[in-house]
Every structure is written in C-alpha cells, then in structure tokens.
Copies of this chain bind each other. A is one copy, B any other.
Amino acid sequence: MSNTPDSAVRTWIEGHRAAFLDDLVEWLRIPSVSADPGRASDVRRSAEWLQAKLKETGFPAVEIWETAGAPAVFAEWPSGEPDAPTVLVYGHHDVQPAAREDGWHTEPFEPVVKDGRLYARGAADDKGQVFFHTLGVRAHLAATGRTAPAVNLKLLVEGEEESGSPNFPALVRAHADRLACDAVIVSDTGMWSADTPTVCTGMRGLTDCQIDLYGPDQDIHSGSFGGAVPNPAMEAARLAAALHDEQHRVTIPGFYDGIAELTDAERELFAELPFDEQQWLRTAHSHGTLGEAGYSTLERIWARPTAEVNGIGGGYQGPGGKTIVPSSAQLKLSFRLVAGQDAEVIERSLSAWVADRLPEGIRHEVTFWGATRPCLTPLDHPALQAVVRAMGKAFGQKIRFTREGGSGPAADLQDVLGAPVLFLGISVPSDGWHAPNEKVELDLLMKGVETAAHLWGELAETGRTGRD
C-alpha cells in the first residue's frame, strides 16, 4: 500500500478539505484553556467534541479518560492483521490562554481564514496537528481499499499539555497496557519552514513554577518606612536577576549536571540548516539575540537549558506613581531542560536557592506546576526513517532534521511504554505558538494529512521488518 500513487491520495484529500476545515473551526471555537480553572468545563467540552468526531472518523473505540485534572481522549483502531505493529499518536486538545487585548487582530476563539491561513488559538498548537490525523487515516483507507489501518492505531490526546501535563505521567502509568505500542508519533512540533521540511528528533523538557513573596502585611508608605524594611518586589527582582551569571549561564547549583555536551557532528547538522538570524528574529518578533555565551542561537534554543521569567508582578501597576513598599510580589519562572537533566533535582535545588537568598522579613512559597522530561531520538532509528519517507512523499523534497525548543510529555511515553518517540509536525515558526494571532498554514496542514495518509503503510513495513 505504500505504493499507492501519491497524486491519487492528494486528490482524494483535496475533495474532503472543505468539510475537514469546517470541523476544525468548530473545535477551535471551544476555549479549552487548561491553565485557567474557570475554563475547566470548556476543556471537558473539547474532549467530548473530539470523542464524537473520532467515532465519526471510524475509530471503533473512543474513550474519555479522567485524570486528577483535565480529561484526555483515547481512541483505538485495530488493524486486524496479526503481524501489524502498534502505533500511538500523541497530541493535546488544551490550548494556551488568549485574550483579544493581548494583541490579537481577531477574537482568539473565533477562527478566521485569511490569505491561506487559519487564525485561532490552538490552530497550530495543537488542535490542527491532532486533527489532520482524522482525515489522514481516512485517506489511508480510501487509497488502500482497507477497512482498518495497516497498523494498530491508537490516539492519546491529553488536556493539560499547556499546563505542564501534571497528571500525564500518572495517566500513562495507569493505562500502560492499553497504550502499549511499538512506536509513538508525537504530533505537537513544527518544521524548519514551508520550504525546508524537516523532522524533529527531540524536544526540551520543562519545569515551571510560581514564587510568591510576602513582605509587609499591607502596602506601606515608602517615605515613612522605605529604605529600612525589605521590599518583596525588589526581592523578586533580585531572585530573577540572580538566575544568570554574566555569561548568561544559569546559577542554580547543579543545574547543568548530567548534560552531554553537543558533539561536533551535532553542531554541524544544526549549522547545515539555512539559518538566517535576521529572518529568525523577525519570526521571534524580537530585535536582538541574547543567551548563553559560547553557543549559537540554534544551539541555545534546541540543545541548551534555560531559565526564563514568564511573568513578574508586585506593587502598583496602575497609571502614574504610588510611593509604596508593596506587600507582595510574584515571579513566574520556567526552565527548559535538555537530555541528562533531572527536573526533580533542579526543583529541589531551586527551592533551596530561593530560601537561601531571601532576607528576614520576606516570607515565600514556591509552587511547581509539574515537569515535562526532555527526549531525543537516534537519527538512525528505522521508525524515524519511515516518518522521513512518508513526509518525503507528501512534500516531494529532501527531509532534514531539527530539534524542538519547546516541550511535550513525549519522554514520559518513551519511559513508561518502552517505545521510541518520533515527531511529526507541519507547523512553522511563524505560526505564533503561545502568542497572539496564532495560525496554521492551510497548505501545510493538508501536507500533514497527506503525510499521515502515507505513514501507516510505511510504518507497517518497518514494523514487520523490525520483527523479522
């Protein structure tokens, strides 16, 4: 079936494009923001919507899996062939917070198509990239004349990825038997660009936290008391500033323990990509580069861990001035992790480091939101080569390799299920993940459908080969 003409698959997909996009738009209207407790019912509605749609697609079994937080969706479609390998597709149905006033040109949960792009929160991260599998598997059946996929196909679509997947490891462990597979396909990453299709070989991990600092029991007069009592806004600033040394290396004790230095070969693979720093800065909406000394921009975002201030707040933030010593301040930090780092060790080290640095008179709390482990896939893995072939058929071009600076719970799947993790994503850097005006390129979204249509055949062959 991997010999089905690529053009026939493409034609079939084009014929179903309009209805597919209508469905996606309906899903994107559901504001499934997992970080906001007030949106819990929307996250549940999103899971139920997906459950219904996957049944309509043809999955014989589709279940809502509860967690201590937001629900996940699990779907299963057995191949029917005894030798077929089992593949688990991973994605998420929750999205980042979004509000019109953050800089959106249109309502984030009112999808708009303009100039071949679909604008909405979650268009690329990750609803669009989950949803291309629904049309993909139907195209695979249509092109091969099968009534079930060439692989035992499983889907796990979680609802807390944008909140650091706090309950995902427990969910995977609890359902390890149902999730058992020969390979995991993560559909939650991107490509280099529309012109340079790539497959991703690893993601950074993440741990993030909130540090609350409390000083005076109420805001106090900066003239009457200022200069003589500790100021929690100042202490929040001091903590943030002390996270890096002058080389922009993270100062938390033990932070770099266990990291393997990049090899020359890996640095060369990065350097081969057509990287244009000015173009990259435009995509980053940024006006300068800054990071760890001794590393290129690509190395900094793909292969080096970071400490970032996601939010800081304390004291008066209204119009004009207010001469107070504020009573409290808050710091939201995230740390990107790379292979070799242990989030738990770093969390303990950070907690001790914070406690050590604060003066008498400042009470504090550190709350971690849950860690996501980093992961890396060997470049010579047969299943990775199958993904490369499927993409090659869809794109008609050489497929190159990247890594992903972002984080997903892929490593948990790898660890618990003992299966290699592969990445299939068609999003591009300009899609604005986590930013206002997130979008997906419709042509690339359809290439995603096409890749998925070829992938199950390619993996079925690999799987059988692997079992010989």
Contact = CB atoms under 8 A, between A and B. Distances in A.
Given A241-B240, A311-B314, A435-B324, A319 B35 contact: yes
Which residue of A220, A228, A318 has the most chain B CB atoms within 10 A of its CB atom?
A228
A144 to B, nearest CB: 36
A167 to B, nearest CB: 14
Contact of A309 (B234, B281, B297, B361): B234
Contacts of A289: 228-229, 361
Nearest to A227: B306
A362 B288 contact: yes
A296 to B, nearest CB: 9
Interface in A181-233: 190, 204, 206, 208-210, 215-231, 233
Interface in A302-320: 304-306, 308-320
Which residue of A210, A315, A434, A437 has the most chain B CB atoms within 10 A of its CB atom?
A434
Interface string A350-383: 0000000001111100000100000000000000
Interface stretch (A45-53, A96-104, A254-262): A96-104
Given A35-B320, A360-B288, A436 B404 contact: no
Contacts of A451: none
A238 B236 contact: no
Contacts of A420: none
A96 B309 CA distance: 31
Q: Please classify how large the interface on chain A is, using the bins under 10, 10 to 19, 20 to 34, 35 or more.
A: 35 or more
Nearest to A299: B228
Q: Is the interface of A mostly helix, strand, loop or mixed?
A: loop
Oligomer copy total: 2
A40 B407 CA distance: 49
Contacts of A37: 319-320
Contacts of A190: 224
Contact of A320 (B233, B369, B429): B369
A86 interface: no
A290 to B, nearest CB: 4
A210 B242 CA distance: 23
A323 interface: yes
Contact of A324 (B219, B300, B310, B317): B310
A287 B360 contact: yes
10 contacts: A36-B320, A216-B285, A218-B285, A224-B406, A230-B286, A231-B308, A238-B240, A288-B361, A313-B317, A315-B332
Given A210-B321, A227-B336, 13 more contacts: A35-B320, A208-B321, A217-B285, A226-B336, A228-B300, A228-B301, A231-B309, A237-B240, A238-B241, A287-B363, A312-B317, A321-B369, A322-B434
